[in-house]
Amino acid sequence: MKEYWKNIVVLLIALLFAVLASIDFISMQVQEKIAPNQNLTEVKMLSCYSPGLKGTDSDTEVYVFDSGNPGGTMLILGGTHPNESAGMVSAIATIENLEVERGRVFIIPWTNKSGFTHTSPLDGMQDRFSITLSDGSIRTFRVGNRLTNPVDQWPDRTYYEGTSGRKLIGSESPEIRNVNRLYYGKENGVLTERVCYGIYNLINAEGVDLTMDMHEGSPEFLYLDCTMVNQKADNEKAMSIASSMALSMQLDGLDMRTEYSGKSSYGLSHRSLGDNTASMMTLMETYNPSMGPLHGKMDDDLIVNGNEPNYYQAHNEGYIYFDVPENGYPLAERVARHLTCISYLAQSYSEANPHDAIVFEGLGSYDDIVEKGLGNLLKPID
Amino acid sequence: MKKIIVVLLAIALLIGFGSCSKAATPAAAAPAANTPSTGTVDSEYDPNATVDFEMKTSADKRVVTIGEIDKSLYQSPIFVTSFGQSTDAAMLDTVMKRVGIDYHYNPTATADDIAGSKTVIIAVGASTKGLGAAGISEADETARAKAIMKQIKADGSQVICCHIGGSSRRGALSDELADMVMKQCSYIVLKEDANFDSKFTDFASAHNIPISLIFATKDTVSVFTDIFK
């Protein structure tokens, strides 16, 4: 009898840990709040454009700013890869500060919403980071996984061929949960394909002229100072517009170049949405030291301050192409870079297409954002 | 013994639950963990092409010109084109707009298109992605370049060789096109990190061609403003 009770106690302790772990796991489904902006016109769900998403964990908010004045339409994607934090924070900062004067702007901050509900297991990942605002309040954001949560889409097929022609075989099979491999999606496909289809259909239904997909990459990545551009035969202005943006950023002292979208980048937003919609597609990366294999302890200092001595040393020894600053590459600088790129891209687009101009204010200058920090850019939540 | 096994099993169970707290199934773990965001683009750029050498330009000294430039040579009409279909031509187009002068721009211009131009500015630098986007093969691009240089020679036009993409625009095709242009040019503008082997400065020195070394692509604006305004 005594042995029986010991077994019960051990099982209850195990159950307690399981419950605590489950609470932690489920808490990842509580998404960030967004401070109200009086200029916001409407919040739609992506399922309006992809009915197969309705009721799923991947149905995500689409924030709409309509100036009421004629002009072009811009789509801004953040959180395509939820572990690339600058994309989501840039999108949220845009929603909280934007004031559109001409045309319309659509913003999706959690493009792969399911991906925000889990992290990379056994990888020492931090699931959240915090930013202190100017009023002393603290806002917390999630660090998710670049792939859809397997709770929502599983198992991964061992062979897959997407609408773009991209094939995923063997070890690549988990990429079937990567939004930025499955464009232009499929209406009744796997969950991640339905997300891609929603964005594809949104672009077509709303007549989106210009799209920016915001990403981050590890410091080993080669395209961190670059915007990828899909130059199509029917949109010869695309590279000219992007070059104008890049030169404006260079004249502000920011490294930026442009590169043609790779012909074989099947399933990626800049390639497959560019090829299959009328929108001018661009994709931009910033350098995130928490994503590379050389990063040390995962904490707020690494994610928010971008401080990683290992990468500075690797850069000094000639192993890193990207210029790694000694004092790190803070999230505020990465967000400022994304927002500056968005502003100049819209400005260049408007100069080239004056009848379909997209004019907005409120995002601030690069120097202003860096100097005052994200605590000033992001708004307090009541 | 039985007690030890029970304790070990309990610990294993706890570790198992603990590791599951961050993901639903082990199937998600292995392939995705710590995967850098490479694959967003198809890499064709070799960063190892950059070799350490002593630069004459710097963030403080952005343009260094070697030789005397005769600005009176560069008259209108001005034509801007690309040899190699890299994004540098679009950047040069943007630069010319900022300079604020009249010019014609066509990255895939034919020899007929440039006929009659008194000044031809050529953005040199090959990009397989750019050639692919333009639907032009390397052989066709080389043939187009040769035809344009032949037309320029016939017209007696002035040529400015513009290599503003840096070390990433060095390679067999880029160098072949650069050699073709440099033989007929009267001025070279070069982003200096492309000169790691002194190829451009050596050629300019040997043929008495003025060359402006620039630190970054944006410095092309000040160089051309000085030439054309």
Angstrom distance (rounded) from CA B128 to CA B174: 11
**Do the Cβ atoms of B221 and A14 come within 8 Å?**
no
Q: Domain for residue B101, yes or no?
A: yes
Is B208 within a domain? yes
Is B24 a residue whose pLDDT tops 80? no
pLDDT averaged over every residue in chain B? 84
Query: Is residue B140 in a domain?
Result: yes
Could you give phi then psi for residue A344, rounded to 5 degrees? -70, -35
Q: Chain A closest CA to B15's CA: distance in Å? A: 9
* Chain A residues with beta carbon closer than 8 angstroms to that of B90: 239-240, 242-243, 258
Map tokens 């204010």 to a residue. A361
Q: Has residue A99 got a pLDDT over 70?
A: yes
Residue of A17, A154, A321 with shortest CB distance to B14: A17
CB contact under 8 A, A223 and B41: yes
Q: What is the mean pLDDT of residues B101-108?
A: 95
Name the residue range of residue B153's domain: 62-228
**Bigger pLDDT: A98 or B21?**
A98
What CATH number is associated with residue B148? 3.40.50
* pLDDT greater than 60 at residue B40: no
Whether residue B23 is contained in a domain is answered as no
Tell me the mean pLDDT in the region B131-152: 94
A148 vs B35: which has the higher pLDDT:
A148
- What is the 3 state secondary structure string of chain A? CHHHHHHHHHHHHHHHHHHHHHHHHHHCCCCCCCCCCCCCCEEEEHHHCCHHHCCCCCCCEEEEEECCCCCCEEEEECCCCCCCHHHHHHHHHHHHHCEEEECEEEEECCCCHHHHHCCCCCCCCCCEEEEECCCCCEEEEECCCCCCCCCCCCCCCCEEECCCCCEEEHHHHHHHHCHHHCCCCCCCCCHHHHHHHHHHHHHHHHCCCEEEEEEEECCCCCCCCEEEECCECCECCHHHHHHHHHHHHHHCCCCCEEEECCCCCCCCHHHHHHHHCCCEEEEEEEECHHHCCCCCCCCHHHHCCCCCHHHHHHHHCCCCCCCCCCCCCCHHHHHHHHHHHHHHHHHHHHHHCHHHCCEEECCCCHHHHHHHCHHHHCCCCC
Interface of B with A in 177-216 (CB under 8 A): 216
Shortest Cα–Cα distance, B132 to chain A (Å)? 7
Interface contact flag, A154 B27, Cβ < 8 Å: yes
Within a 13 Å sphere around the CA of B22, how many CA atoms are in the beta-carbon half?
A: 19
pLDDT in the model for residue B173: 94
Check CB contact of A156 with chain B, cutoff 8 Å.
Answer: yes
* Residue A219 pLDDT grade (very low, low, confident, very high; cuts 50, 70, 90): confident
CB pair distance less than 8 Å for A217 and B40:
yes
How many domains would you assign to chain B?
1
Q: What would the mean pLDDT of A207-215 be, rounded to a whole number?
A: 97
For residue B19, pLDDT over 60 is answered with: no
Per-residue pLDDT tens digits for B206-229: 999 999 999 999 999 999 999 998
**Residue B44 within a domain:** no
- How far is the alpha carbon of B92 from chain A, nearest alpha carbon, in Å? 9
Return the pLDDT at B48: 45
Is the pLDDT at B50 greater than 80? The verdict is no
Is position B13 within any domain? no
Check if the beta carbon of residue A346 is closer than 8 Å to that of residue A359.
yes
| The pLDDT value given to residue B21 | 40
pLDDT at position A125 is 84
Q: What is the pLDDT of residues A119-177, one digit of tens each?
A: 987 788 889 999 999 999 999 999 999 999 999 999 999 999 999 999 999 899 999 99
Mutate to test the interface with B, among A12, A126, A175, A243 (most CBs of B within 10 A): A243
As a whole number, mean pLDDT of residues A169-187 equals 95
- Are B22 and A125 inside 8 Å of each other by CB? yes
pLDDT in the model for residue A319: 86
Confidence grade of residue B29 (pLDDT, cut at 50, 70, 90)? very low
- Interface confidence: ipTM more than 0.85: no
Does any domain span residue B33?
no
Whether residue B72 is contained in a domain is answered as yes
Q: What is the pLDDT of residues A321-368, one digit of tens each?
A: 778 888 889 999 999 999 999 999 999 999 999 999 999 999 999 999
